[in-house]
Structure 1
Amino acid sequence: MSALQSDGFRFWTEEKLRNADTDQFTHINNAAIATFFEAARMEIVAPPQIRALMDGANLAVVRLLIEFSAELRFPGRVRVGTRVVEVGNTSFKVRQGLFDERHETCCATAEAVCVLLHGETARPHPIRPELRAYLLTDDATETLV
């Protein structure tokens, strides 16, 4: 993965940088950046009408790759863009970019594979066609039930 431009992402999340997110060099640390990416992934499935399409299942990340490309420092805000790039039978892959709002710089990119796991059985759960359409369409409001 390489640094991305802010266009091309469908889902957006904004996060505030906290002093507690810094490391000994006063950079925002890698654990905080991973948390920003996680928050953005979870917002994709947060709307109640989308949760209903998941039939009681939750997301589990089975693969996560993060590449860091620029320093990020407190204070400030970041925007995380996310796009679903593939949907399988029980999983989907997202690509993400984390942008420093002050400099409009892509500071990190991520790629994650998320599996839908049923809440009661903890087994992979099929992705319904309506959920697949929501994940892959370019207009989030178009497929909301």
Structure 2
Amino acid sequence: MDGYRFTETIPLRLRDIDQMNHVNNAVYATFLEQARAAYFRDVVGEPLDSVGMVIADLTVTFERAITLDAGEVVVGARVAELGTSSVPMEYEIRADGERAATGETTMVHVDRATGTAEPLPDEWRETIASFESLES
């Protein structure tokens, strides 16, 4: 997938399909979540559920319907820049080799006890910057 060094393949499930016989629009956000969790696990080396990250923004742009016949989707995920406490991510969802949607999320690193934003750990910043070839 051009421009994405990280991809996650996600099998489609019957429960993903709505009465219009295509993947329900809410499921696309779940695809982004699954790719984001895999990115943190595989690239950052941290399971997403063990770190204090919250979603501050989520956008999905739908381009075409996905049906169960596709069998799976491939989600590209990347970080194009890093904020002080935020990790903006970009996504592309493909089915049958064709782009079906794009998405963006912004995660903010927070102190779990207080819920306030705190700077990203230097180790994460260095790991992500190296993987994505970002200037640190």
Tell me what 1:111 maps to: 104
Cα separation, 1, equivalents of 2:46 and 2:16:
30
Tell me what 2:51 maps to: 57
TM-score normalised per structure 2: 0.86
Equivalent residue letter for 1:8: G
Cα separation, 1, equivalents of 2:108 and 2:12:
29
CA RMSD of aligned residues (A): 2.3
Cα separation, 2, equivalents of 1:48 and 1:93:
15
The percentage of aligned residue pairs carrying the same residue is 29
What secondary structure sits across from 1:137 in the alignment? helix
Match of 1:71 among 65, 71, 91: 65
TM-score normalised per structure 1: 0.81
Q: Which has the higher contact order (CA 8 A, sep 6+)?
A: 1
Q: Which runs of 4+ in 1 moved over 6 A?
A: none
Q: Check 1:120–1:47 CA distance in 2 against 1; reply closer, same or farther (3 A cut).
A: farther
- How many Å apart are 1:138 and its aligned residue? 3.3
- How many Å apart are 1:51 and its aligned residue? 2.7
Q: Are residues 1:14 and 2:12 paired?
A: no
Show structure 2 runs of 5+ residues with no match: none
Equivalent residue letter for 1:116: H
Q: Check 1:65–1:49 CA distance in 2 against 1; reply closer, same or farther (3 A cut).
A: closer
What secondary structure sits across from 1:87 in the alignment? coil
